[in-house]
């Protein structure tokens, strides 16, 4: 399986901005918007993802609200397949299925359209998001993919905060690939 080489990793890592004390004091936020406005970094990232996943025989890309939409939709277009959003509760207009998950400060919920995979049984799906921390949203998304009748072949994250161990819970359900690990 294709992984980032040292040059690609450096280009992407250098494009990620740290924002201290956001969204609250003591947190260092990993800002990926600086990848998006850096044509070399964004191109490097998307070309790498295309090369990695072009042989996976995928049917759909599922992106998690909201930054997963950016990478997921772009990759789906490059691969010539469909894109499916997993959104926060109440944002999708048609009949949905939902999954609750715990946060450090409460409970949240994500949804997917009940017909997200167009009736395709066992559709092969890649889940993508910008970052995995505690893993609650990603775990809920993998569960929704299965409930909607598809198979999540891998979960891909641009950044994994390995010190929070969220990826370990997702790995119990599907393989995880991360481009940048923050320890």
Return the residue matching tokens 């280009």. 11
Residue 178's SS3 state is strand
CA dist., res. 55 & res. 109, Å (int): 32
Tokens of 99: 């999954």
Whether 104 sits among the annotated catalytic residues: the reply is yes
CA dist., res. 74 & res. 163, Å (int): 29
Please spell the DSSP secondary structure of 135-159, one letter per residue: -HHHHHHHHHHHHTTEEEEEEEEEE
Catalytic site residue from 9, 13, 67, 181: 67
Whether 89 sits among the annotated catalytic residues: the reply is no
Q: What one-character DSSP code corresponds to residue 133?
A: S
Provide the annotated active-site residues.
67, 104
């Amino acid at each position: 399986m294709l992984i980032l080489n040292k040059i690609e990793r450096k280009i992407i890592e250098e494009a990620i901005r740290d924002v201290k004390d956001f969204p609250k004091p003591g947190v260092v936020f990993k800002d990926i918007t600086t990848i998006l406005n850096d044509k070399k970094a964004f191109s490097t990232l998307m070309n790498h993802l295309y090369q990695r996943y072009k042989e996976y025989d995928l049917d759909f890309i599922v992106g998690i609200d909201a930054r997963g939409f950016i990478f997921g939709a772009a990759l789906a277009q490059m691969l010539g397949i469909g894109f499916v959003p997993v959104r926060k509760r109440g944002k999708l207009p048609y009949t949905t299925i939902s999954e609750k998950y715990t946060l450090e400060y409460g409970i949240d919920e994500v949804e997917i359209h009940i017909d997200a995979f167009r009736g395709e049984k066992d559709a092969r799906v890649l889940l993508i998001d910008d970052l995995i921390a505690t893993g609650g949203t990603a775990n809920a998304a993998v569960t929704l993919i299965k409930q909607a009748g598809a198979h999540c072949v891998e979960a891909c994250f641009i950044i994994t905060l390995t010190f929070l161990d969220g990826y370990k819970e997702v790995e119990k359900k599907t393989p995880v690939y991360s481009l940048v690990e923050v320890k």
